[in-house]
C-alpha cells in the first residue's frame, strides 16, 4: 500500500529483537508516505516485539520470520532497498560473518550480492556496545557500502534493562533517508530466499 508520492519500489524492513521494534510501524508509515511498498521481515526474537496483525494490515503483506519450505512460492516481492532497524549485536555480527541462520540474515547476505541499497540502525545497551566485535562488524559493513547509523549522535544507548529510555529518539526517519535515493534495480529481477 502506498500513500502520497509516486511508487518508489519495494522496501524490506528487517526487524530484530529489541524494545525499539515495537515502534517499527512508524518507519512503515513514513516509507509509505514516500511511496514505498513496505514488507516487514523479523528475526524470531524480533517477532516477539511487534504486532504482527497490525503490520500485516498496514503493509498488505504477510510478516515473514522463517525461510519458506522448498517448492513454496515467494509471498513477497523482491526488495529494491532494505533497512535493518533495530539491529541487534547478534544480527550485526552474524551478518558481517556471512552467517544466514535466519531469514533476515539470508536476505541481507543475498542483498549484498544483488547490490540492494541497505541501511542499518544497530541498537543495544551501553555494556554490550563496548564489545570490540560489534565495532569490527560495523566497520566491515561500512566498507561494503552499508549505510550504518550508529553512535551517540544517532541514538543514545541505555544501560542494561533501560534501553527503552531513549525509544522516542530512535532514528526511523534517518534510516529511511539513507535508502531513499533513486532506486536503480528493479524488484522483478530478484526473489526472496527459501
CA pair distance 130, 36, nearest whole angstrom = 35
Query: Is 171 within 8 Å of 154 (Cβ atoms)?
Result: yes
Q: Is the pLDDT at 2 greater than 50, yes or no?
A: no
- Tell me the pLDDT of the chain averaged across its residues: 88
The stretch 75-81 carries a mean pLDDT of 95
CB-facing half-sphere around the CA of 103: CA atoms within 13 A: 25
Domains belonging to the chain, first-starting first, are 9-68+78-181 (3.40.50.1950)
Condensed to tens digits (0 to 9), the pLDDT of residues 32-68 reads: 999 999 999 999 999 999 999 999 999 999 999 999 9
CA pair distance 2, 166, nearest whole angstrom = 29
Q: What is the pLDDT of residue 56?
A: 98
Q: How many CB atoms lie within 10 A of CB 62?
A: 14
The stretch 22-36 carries a mean pLDDT of 97
The stretch 59-85 carries a mean pLDDT of 95
Query: Is 43 within 8 Å of 102 (Cβ atoms)?
Result: yes
DSSP letters, 7-43, are P-EEEEEEE-SSGGGGGHHHHHHHHHHBTEEEEEEE-
Q: Is the pLDDT at 184 greater than 60, yes or no?
A: no
Q: How confident is the model at residue 1 (pLDDT cuts 50, 70, 90)?
A: very low
Using alpha carbons, list the distances in angstroms from residue 24 to 47, 143, 181, 188.
Answer: 11, 27, 21, 26
Q: What is the pLDDT of residue 186?
A: 34
Query: Is 143 within 8 Å of 103 (Cβ atoms)?
Result: no
Whole-prediction pTM:
0.88
Q: Which residues of 68-85 are buried (b: 16+ CB within 10 A; e: fewer)?
A: eeeeeeeebbbbbbbbbb
Q: What is the pLDDT of residue 193?
A: 52
Amino acid at each position: 500500500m502506498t500513500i502520497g508520492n509516486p511508487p518508489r519500489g519495494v522496501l524490506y524492513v528487517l526487524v530484530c529483537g529489541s524494545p525499539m521494534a515495537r515502534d517499527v510501524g512508524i518507519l512503515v508509515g513514513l516509507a509509505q508516505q514516500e511511496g514505498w511498498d513496505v514488507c516487514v521481515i523479523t528475526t524470531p526474537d524480533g517477532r516477539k516485539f511487534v504486532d504482527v496483525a497490525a503490520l500485516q494490515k498496514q503493509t498488505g503483506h504477510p510478516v515473514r520470520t522463517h525461510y519458506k519450505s522448498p517448492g513454496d512460492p515467494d509471498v513477497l516481492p523482491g526488495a529494491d532497498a532494505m533497512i535493518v532497524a533495530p539491529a541487534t549485536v547478534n544480527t550485526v555480527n552474524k551478518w558481517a560473518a556471512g552467517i544466514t541462520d535466519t531469514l533476515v540474515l539470508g536476505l541481507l547476505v543475498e542483498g549484498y550480492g544483488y547490490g540492494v541499497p541497505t541501511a542499518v540502525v544497530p541498537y543495544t545497551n551501553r555494556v554490550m556496545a563496548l564489545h570490540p566485535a560489534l565495532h569490527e562488524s560495523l566497520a566491515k559493513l561500512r566498507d561494503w557500502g552499508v549505510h550504518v547509523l550508529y553512535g551517540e549522535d544517532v541514538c543514545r544507548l541505555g544501560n542494561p534493562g533501560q534501553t527503552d529510555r531513549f525509544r522516542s529518539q530512535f532514528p526511523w526517519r534517518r534510516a529511511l533517508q539513507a535508502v531513499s535515493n533513486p532506486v536503480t534495480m528493479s524488484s522483478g529481477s530478484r526473489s526472496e530466499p527459501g
